[in-house]
Amino acid sequence: MSHGHKGVAPAHQFESVEQQQRVARFGMWMFLISETMIFGALFTGYAVYWTLYPEAFQEAAQFLDVTYGTVMTVVLLVSSTTVALAITALEGDRRRLAAGLFGVTIALGLVFFVLKIIEYAEKIGDGLLPTRGFEYPGAESADQAQVFFSWYFVITGTHAVHLIVGLAAIGFVIWPILRGTYHAKYFSPVEGTGLYWHLVDVIWIFVFPLLYLMGRAGGMG
Amino acid sequence: MSGPREGFVSAFVVLALLLVLTVLTVVAAYAPIGVFHVPVALALAGLKSILVVLYYMHMRHGRSSDWVVIGTGLLLLAVLIGMILSDVVTRGWSG
Amino acid sequence: MDDTRETDPAEGDAGPNYLRAGYSIRSWLLTTDHKRIAILYLVSLTVMFLVGGAAAVLLRLELISSEASLVSGDGYNKLFTLHGVIMIFFFLVPSIPAVFGNFLIPMMVGARDMAFPRINLASWYLYMTGAILGIAIIVGGGVDTGWTFYTPYSSTYANTHVILAVAGVFIAGFSSIFTGLNIVATVYAMRAPGLGWGRLPLFVWSLLATSLIILLATPVLAITLALVAVERATGIGIFDPGLGGDPVLFQHLFWFYSHPAVYIMILPSLGVVSEIVACFARKRIYGYPFMAGASIAIAILGFFVWGHHMFVSGQSVYAGIVFSFLSFLVAVPSAVKVFNWIATLHRGQISFETPMLYAFGFIGLFVVGGLTGLFTATIAVNVHIHDTYFVVAHFHYIMVGGALMGYLGALHFWWPKIMGRLYPERLARWSAIFVFLGFNLTFFPQFLLGYQGMPRRYHVYPQEFELLNVFSSGGAIFLGLGYLLPAIYLTWSLKYGRAAGPNPWGATGLEWTTASPPPSENFARTPRVTEPVYNYTGERQS
């Protein structure tokens, strides 16, 4: 199976493979924008409560761990890079390299996920799970701080769900890449998977400063 | 498709830029810039996203139709956030 | 309708028609043919319509008398919730896009199938999963939150199957996202040679506008309902003021979808009516670019007005003023549509076949619904009529008088194409008239009731409202009859209807150039478009 590409005939509804790939990319962008609106709604809710409870939120945000946030950011950025490299490799028909780079991406994604679990466990251990038994050590209103932690868990949790979906999707394309189902002339599903992973990264690029880094210098104004 | 759209090197250059911007983001969070924390954080995050979208997501060579999709989405995102916040901010104003 | 103009097209040789492409259950359940998926949707939507309709019948029966004669207060709450959830999320939102959009969009653009046939099939399965959850709720005892799922009642206090219900709506939401995505991708990339943007039928434009809303608004509803479920399941504070939350935020996020959702329901009907009016007036549609633009304008403006549902919710007065003003703006593109239809009719060769009757009915009801929308968008008036039957009547004029008339119009206009059979025209005209009269008799009294102050969502009411309620319930009988008749004669026509031929109406548009029912690949060879859109040349040659 060294160079035995499967035929590059387009699916029956298309005129050419080029058209098929163009449409797939266009469709994927529409889906990504839909996904963005999901997070848009979450960020909106978060912003609304920042506006309503600025003091409490500013204090509560201090309880998040900047180190975890930074490390997770770096891990995810590198994982996006390996996806970009994998696509470049695939475009040059270096399929083994591409599959390997996707393997690295999965490893990095798992690292992120494990860090997330450890972070959650710490927060829950500190009594910061915003449900019955919420124990808030801060000075501001515990009710309002509880809302902060609700959004923290909801936003990072929704992100984590997307991360898992992205990991699964990457897992599903690795073998077909090795087998030659996807190759330099046709790799729309791989590209779609890559785009999805980048979106997960872009969302986190916003989650990091908006959750972990708020109110660090004291005085939000 | 004829050949890669982006080289291996550019991916690493972009990663370096992303990491630099991440460091800047953290530094800015601790800097005494008062009301500018949120705008600066959003600007830096926006810059990072643009890098990812242009290079990693290949929109540097993207079709205008894909840009229309992105643009429409961002517009509606602004409507969602903007109009809801405009209610919350003005709720306390007495007439 | 003897068709002499159309010579039997060569497409007749393009293999068997799609209905004969396979008879096994498997050939239907695993099909990726957009036409077969449309039929799957047609059947399942009809079932859901019957369920939602049955709930409406019970509601109207209860309201015949001012006392609790049929159901308890709880039972009534569950009935109107059921009616709303089923009709909106499982019938009206998917209706025209999933049935006629699926069937017609690839044919109208001259393609062999949708861009993503497997996603198309997945969309139907998601819909069915949601719908089965919806049915499961009925069996399991119902939901009583109203279709709006307002917090904190839904997230904290209700003792009914809220989580199951929002799960059903969540899943159905992704089904419509998949349909919308397919429609946009198909129109964007798969148009036949010569079919520029200025030659697209207005039905295609209206579904593009609809898909825009579906793609951008549905995710917001999905995550919002998910948050309700999370708050309910875990007790973390998101919307419940008892836990520090802001219930008005829920309403914002909910109406960010649910107001544009009204345009998801009405825009496709606007497109259908444009097709029908042009065909039965034998004229090119007047002001085509404005008609196409108005669809897009309605979709976009529709995103700026959701706050008019929240004038009495504790939303800021200033936001209310802005939302009220913006709501008036939607009237502009809507009026452009109505005036252009009238201009199209002017000096046309008008004939009154069944689809045209539905189109006329639509225009009348849409105008009434639209104009009363201006009342409700005015803050001062809104405060008076908020949550009264005036609002109920208003949105039924749009969503039933508008969206459903459009759906029935489309069903009668394209039925000969879909099934290859003609239905009994005379009976169909009578049923269209039944629907129109029954509808007005049902819902016009509700304007009066609401203006006099009868609140919605109560099973008992002061006796002075009884007379008008009896009228309303009486009208519902005619309306129900008008809905049942098509179900009967259309089914009858499947076996006994006369063969329709490729183009029984003498209509323009690519879908009419191929056989009825169309072959699996739609066209023998990719069509080439050389004529402008709606190239009607006066009298019908038949």
Question: Using CA atoms in the order B83, B85, B88, B93, what is the torsion angle rounded to 10 degrees?
Answer: -80
Q: What is the Cα–Cα distance from C90 to C175, expressed in whole angstroms?
A: 10
Q: Which residues of C touch A151 (CB under 8 A)?
A: 238
Q: What pLDDT was estimated at residue A218?
A: 61
Q: What is the Cα–Cα distance from C228 to C233, expressed in whole angstroms?
A: 8
pLDDT interval class at C9 (50, 70, 90):
very low
Contacts of A among chains (3+ CB pairs under 8 A): B, C
A5 has a pLDDT exceeding 70:
no
Which domain does C370 fall in, by range? 32-513
Q: Which two tokens stand for residue C121?
A: 């099939």
Q: Do A209 and B42 touch (CB under 8 A)?
A: yes
Residue identified by tokens 């079919």 is C195
Domain residue ranges of chain B, discontinuous segments joined by +? 1-62, 64-95
pLDDT digits (tens, 9 = 90+) for C234-281: 989 999 998 889 999 999 999 999 999 999 999 999 999 999 999 999
Interface membership of A93 toward B (CB under 8 Å): no
The verdict on residue C2 lying in a domain is no
A6 has a pLDDT exceeding 70:
no
pLDDT interval class at A2 (50, 70, 90):
very low
Q: A35-212 sits in which CATH class?
A: mainly alpha
Of chain C residues 306-365, which have a CB less than 8 A from chain B?
307, 314-319, 322-323
pLDDT interval class at C540 (50, 70, 90):
low
Q: Do you find a cis peptide bond into C517, omega within 30 degrees of 0?
A: yes
Q: Which two tokens stand for residue C362?
A: 């639509």
- DSSP-assigned states of every residue in C504-533: TT---SGGGGS-SSPBTTSSSS-----SPT
pLDDT digits (tens, 9 = 90+) for C336-349: 999 999 999 999 99
Choose from A14, A30, A36, A55 for mutation: most chain C CBs within 10 A.
A30
Q: How far is A37 from chain C (nearest CA, A)?
A: 6
Contacts of B among chains (3+ CB pairs under 8 A): A, C
C5 has a pLDDT exceeding 60:
no
Residue C477 CB burial class (10 angstroms; 0-12, 13-18, ≥19):
middle
A220 has a pLDDT exceeding 60:
no
Residue identified by tokens 């490299």 is A85
Report H helices in B1-95: 8-30, 37-51, 64-90
- Assign residue C483 the CATH number of its domain: 1.20.210.10
The structural domain count of chain C equals: 1
Q: Do B73 and A37 touch (CB under 8 A)?
A: yes
- Least Cα distance to C220 among A37, A130, A137 occurs for A37
Q: Do C318 and B79 touch (CB under 8 A)?
A: no
Q: Do A92 and B88 touch (CB under 8 A)?
A: no
Bigger pLDDT: C86 vs A140: C86
Interface membership of B8 toward A (CB under 8 Å): yes
- Least Cα distance to A194 among A28, A78, A71 occurs for A28
Interface membership of A62 toward B (CB under 8 Å): no
Of C220, C248, C319, the CB nearest to B90: C319
Q: Do C244 and A53 touch (CB under 8 A)?
A: yes
Q: Do C236 and A37 touch (CB under 8 A)?
A: no
pLDDT interval class at A139 (50, 70, 90):
confident
Among the ranges given (C209-218, C356-365, C366-375, C521-530), the one the predictor scored with the smallest mean pLDDT? C521-530
Of chain A residues 38-67, which have a CB less than 8 A from chain C?
38, 40-42, 44-45, 48-49, 52-53
Q: Which two tokens stand for residue C460?
A: 């008992």
Of chain B residues 6-45, which have a CB less than 8 A from chain C?
none
Q: Do B22 and A70 touch (CB under 8 A)?
A: yes
Interface membership of A2 toward C (CB under 8 Å): no
Q: What pLDDT was estimated at residue B94?
A: 65
Q: What pLDDT was estimated at residue C14?
A: 55
pLDDT digits (tens, 9 = 90+) for A189-211: 999 999 999 999 999 999 999 99
- Least Cα distance to C98 among C23, C44, C51 occurs for C44
The verdict on residue C380 lying in a domain is yes
Q: Are C11 and C420 spatial neighbours (Cβ–Cβ below 8 Å)? A: no
- Least Cα distance to C142 among C214, C37, C72, C193 occurs for C72
Q: Do C315 and B91 touch (CB under 8 A)?
A: yes
Q: What pLDDT was estimated at residue C329?
A: 95
Of chain A residues 121-140, which have a CB less than 8 A from chain B?
none
Average pLDDT over residues A138-145: 88
pLDDT interval class at C449 (50, 70, 90):
very high
Q: What is the CA radius of gyration of chain A?
A: 21
Q: What pLDDT was estimated at residue A3?
A: 42
Q: What pLDDT was estimated at residue C258?
A: 96
The verdict on residue C17 lying in a domain is no
Q: What pLDDT was estimated at residue A193?
A: 97
Q: Which chain B residue has the Cα nearest residue A183?
A: B1
Average pLDDT over residues C458-486: 94
Of chain B residues 52-71, which have a CB less than 8 A from chain A?
52-53, 55-58, 63, 65-66, 69-70
Q: What is the mean pLDDT of chain C?
A: 93
pLDDT above 90: percentage of residues in chain A: 83
Q: What pLDDT was estimated at residue A15?
A: 87
Q: What is the mean pLDDT of chain A?
A: 92
Q: What is the Cα–Cα distance from C72 to C77, expressed in whole angstroms?
A: 9
Q: What is the mean pLDDT of chain B?
A: 92
Of chain C residues 23-52, which have a CB less than 8 A from chain B?
none
Q: What pLDDT was estimated at residue B92?
A: 80
B22 has a pLDDT exceeding 90:
yes
Q: What pLDDT was estimated at residue B2?
A: 62
Contacts of C among chains (3+ CB pairs under 8 A): A, B
Q: What pLDDT was estimated at residue C541?
A: 53
Domain residue ranges of chain A, discontinuous segments joined by +? 35-212
Q: Do C316 and B93 touch (CB under 8 A)?
A: yes
Interface membership of B65 toward C (CB under 8 Å): yes
Average pLDDT over residues A23-50: 96
C12 has a pLDDT exceeding 50:
no
pLDDT above 90: percentage of residues in chain C: 90
Q: What is the Cα–Cα distance from C402 to C405, expressed in whole angstroms?
A: 5
